[in-house]
Structure 1
């Protein structure tokens, strides 16, 4: 199909993850162009839908991070427009974008996920900050993780070790979303497991182990070369690695995701993997986890991205 198929890669946007999206988009363009695909780029702005409807590309690749690419809204518009595209459809993306919903779906499907409570900004104000915080601390101990209920790239995420840190952590989370997810902290090995759809259904890629120099895998640690050490495949017992792969696939299926996804997990001291969240359009930059996992299988990124594109075309 190379040379005859037109692909429009969407990147950029106005989210907090604009720069990451631009880098992901360039990597997709480079990978497909090496195989002779006709690839162009576009920004998600007021001109986008008219442009796509005029060009009618064979497939759209939304390499967008943050709300514009992952909350399901743009994907729903692509569905209505009848334009084939890479990745999960709008309703499924919306489920994954909302972390509390994603956790609940995985839990119902039989997967393990840390105990948590979701707090809206309005309730936090109406009930009173002190009362809400005391209630949370009374039921959840031994460390917490506070994060925006929707968002990516660890923006607004805080590891809370003391009661005094919780108020600021909640305010940081509310900077990025109107709801904060307060999650019981699980100490262990942080991993990411990519999932790609194949002829026999979704299959897990080798887990990537994440070891940030700072001890926290934040925004800078994700996208600054040298700030994090990665091990691919992760240094896990084979049985534990298999269980992690099964959990990632379970999450992919539970939310109805398609083509590609990435599950963020943590493996505790007993070897049990816990689901944290899923990403419907994982980062594809030079430091991102999904590309590392693909490369660890011996495949090159060009052929892998071409296979994903061809699958989307076949489903159109």
Structure 2
């Protein structure tokens, strides 16, 4: 069943930061026995998904997909919603898991809070720690961090909704256009799935773009829209080594990878590897690894870029909980690289378990 859902032939493989082809390397992780680990059927993995964010449905889909692949690989997996029963489940002797895989999208899932809870409960989990998650969750802060690490990112400003009320919306909008120029991209500083995001090609579109943005957050990131190729690169830390999946290129009819384009199979085209010069492909993979490391991320991340007409990757954001639905980017990249998702997810789980993590609240 896992082979039917996940295996695919591919012309490219995942690569590590050394540049070597690592498809077989990644596939082999789940095939070896890791010392001091319980058998898979006796290892309790809990996938936490759902919650009350705008991305609840996506989170549930991601969670159940991961559950299915892990079960195919022989793990003992349960799924729990982010609700008032969760803490009892985590603390009960009968149900306390050996490993938690938080697959909550949006607030609480990616802002570090669920990870703080898991650390207070003394439970190992898949993914970045709370502090790093908070850093990546704030797009302006993440842009500043990666810029200091040498990665290019589009020029932007960050403005709260109150600024438009106090200074006058029309005057602020005029200043934005005269200062940053057009086109612009408007998005909430925190959030995912492109909710509240708009591409602005003319000044008269900007007021509505701001309204749409503020429907999902009180602070807007307004950045220069870079023309080029939209590319997503996923990084996984397995057995202490980074595995960088092939860059995935996104081509949409209207040039915007919005919510509908992300989760509705149809006109959006995906190319793995991205249709870029091999040197540029390598450059964007290096940029994704640099973002992963400079932001302090671990286990799994996905970074999004626009590769401009000069072949320069322009960083947009990093995601600590990439989507795992059937249309999500990380699974597509893995399958195109010839990887079994059941094997890849098992490798990640085994890698975390083998570290015997004792993450606790940092003081």
Shorter-chain TM-score tier: over 0.9
Give the match for residue 224 of structure 1.
264
> C-alpha displacement at 1:56, in angstroms?
1.9
> C-alpha displacement at 1:17, in angstroms?
0.7
Give the match for residue 251 of structure 1.
291
Quote the Cα distance in structure 1 between the aligned partners of 2:120 and 2:267: 42
Does residue 1:30 correspond to 2:68, yes or no? yes
Give the match for residue 46 of structure 2.
8
Alignment of 1:1-316 (within 5 A): 1-54=39-92, 55-315=95-355, 316=357
> C-alpha displacement at 1:80, in angstroms?
1.2
Q: What secondary structure, in the 3-state scheme, does the structure 1 residue paired with 2:83 have?
A: coil
> C-alpha displacement at 1:262, in angstroms?
0.2
Runs (5+) with no aligned partner, structure 1: none
Quote the Cα distance in structure 1 between the aligned partners of 2:155 and 2:242: 27
More contact order relative to length (CA 8 Å, sep ≥ 6): 2
Q: What secondary structure, in the 3-state scheme, does the structure 1 residue paired with 2:172 have?
A: helix
TM-score of the pair, normalised by structure 1: 0.98
Q: Is the Cα–Cα contact under 8 Å of residues 220 and 227 in structure 1 kept in the other structure?
A: no
Quote the Cα distance in structure 2 between the aligned partners of 1:200 and 1:216: 36
Quote the Cα distance in structure 2 between the aligned partners of 1:206 and 1:128: 46
Count residues in correspondence: 316
Quote the Cα distance in structure 1 between the aligned partners of 2:129 and 2:102: 11
Q: Is the Cα–Cα contact under 8 Å of residues 244 and 285 in structure 2 kept in the other structure?
A: yes
Quote the Cα distance in structure 2 between the aligned partners of 1:199 and 1:266: 30
Q: What secondary structure, in the 3-state scheme, does the structure 1 residue paired with 2:109 have?
A: helix
Q: Is the Cα–Cα contact under 8 Å of residues 239 and 351 in structure 2 kept in the other structure?
A: no
Quote the Cα distance in structure 1 between the aligned partners of 2:326 and 2:165: 41
Identify which range, 281-290 or 60-69, moves more after superposition: 60-69
Q: Is the Cα–Cα contact under 8 Å of residues 238 and 347 in structure 2 kept in the other structure?
A: no
Q: What secondary structure, in the 3-state scheme, does the structure 1 residue paired with 2:236 have?
A: strand
CA-based RMSD: 1.1
Quote the Cα distance in structure 2 between the aligned partners of 1:50 and 1:127: 49
Q: Deviations over 1:180-223 (max 9, x none)?
A: 00000000110100011134533321000001233321101101
Q: What secondary structure, in the 3-state scheme, does the structure 2 residue paired with 1:226 have?
A: coil
Q: What secondary structure, in the 3-state scheme, does the structure 2 residue paired with 1:7 have?
A: strand
Identify which range, 111-120 or 10-19, moves more after superposition: 10-19
Q: Is the Cα–Cα contact under 8 Å of residues 7 and 37 in structure 1 kept in the other structure?
A: yes
200 and 44 in structure 1: CA distance in 2 versus 1, 3 angstrom threshold = closer
Identify which range, 46-55 or 281-290, moves more after superposition: 46-55
Q: What secondary structure, in the 3-state scheme, does the structure 2 residue paired with 1:41 have?
A: strand
Identify which range, 90-99 or 211-220, moves more after superposition: 211-220
Give the match for residue 360 of structure 2.
none
Q: Is the Cα–Cα contact under 8 Å of residues 203 and 249 in structure 1 kept in the other structure?
A: no
